[in-house]
Amino acid sequence: MSIEQHLQHWQDQVAQLLEARLPQIDAPPHTLHQAMHYAALNGGKRIRPILVFATGQALGADEQDLTSPALAVEFIHCYSLVHDDLPAMDDDDLRRGKPTCHIKFNEATAILAGDALHTQAFQELASHSFSTKAQPQQVEMIKVLAEASGSLGMGGGQAIDLESTQKVIDLPMLENMHRMKTGALIKSSVLLGALCAGPLQNMERQALSDYADAIGLAFQVKDDILDIESDTETLGKPQGSDLENEKNTYPALLGLEGSRQKLDDLLQLALQALAKLPYNTQLLADLAEFIVHRKS
């Protein structure tokens, strides 16, 4: 299969898993459950759960073991988008071409929907019946996801982003912010998929971490470029919002050409990291290429 076919297969699988695991939409409290479904099932590339599946497949994990961490990282990602869009945060009206959760429902419901999705992520990891190969790493999986989501990961990165808005920061500070805000959850996706295959050797963990660090930053650099070059319909969110909100971006610091060169450099770092692994990592390489060359 081509990378596009793999992506479509996994996107469909993730959508089915989310539909099955979310609380029933007609169960009380009805509005909260409707908001959770709305936030989690409104499309998206599903890059993070796909990285769980692709990494686990490369290292020989059982697919049934991968479903739980794939769901968990997507629940965390969906919750983060709901909260990022709130008026107190990025104050966005559109997400994936549709009204954001607080616009569709209301601000209080959106906050609670995000809280509930966040909690369900850890419920998934804690309650799943893993195989004998993956079960010894179950507590480590919970720890990896918690660290990626908290103040030293995604939550802290968002705090730095808010503090830095309308201020000028340098490139190292920008990279540190995005390693936390975007990269931490991407790295956890890769590590969760790997942990389903068994304990990780130091060399394997380092190579996978280097790969994930590179594609995590590449994802953000590409987002920054698309915010300038694409349009609202393609992006599914307001084009030019970073500029309007005076956000720190790679094009603002490096220019467009410098940002494109940075993107290519990060792709090469990702591929070099994969080359150190004694597995068939072609799908992970294809995913890195997709992240760099995507249109939305």
The 10s digit of each residue's pLDDT in 36-87 is 999 999 888 999 999 999 999 999 999 999 999 999 999 999 999 999 999 9
- Residue 94's DSSP bridge partners are 99
Sort 123 into a burial class: Cβ within 10 Å, 0-12 / 13-18 / 19+: middle
- Tens digit of each residue's pLDDT (9 = 90 or more) over 192-211: 999 999 999 999 999 999 99
Instruction: Evaluate if residue 132 carries a pLDDT over 90.
Output: yes
Q: What is the pLDDT of residue 88?
A: 94
Residue 98's SS3 state is strand
The dihedrals phi and psi of 130, each to the nearest 5 degrees, come to -75, 160
* Predicted pLDDT of residue 295: 85
Compute the average pLDDT of residues 96-103: 93
Where is pLDDT greater, at 288 or 252?
Answer: 288
Angle at 49 (CA atoms; ends 47, 54), nearest 5 degrees: 85
The tokens describing 277, both together, are 């692994």
Token reading at 187? 């790295």
pTM for this model (two decimals): 0.94
Where is pLDDT greater, at 166 or 158?
Answer: 158
Question: Which position has the token pair 């380092």?
Answer: 206
Where residue 234 falls among pLDDT bands split at 50, 70, 90? low
Lowest mean pLDDT among 37-51, 175-189, 243-257, 263-277: 243-257
- The pLDDT confidence band at residue 1, using thresholds 50, 70 and 90, is confident
Residue 133: pLDDT over 90? yes
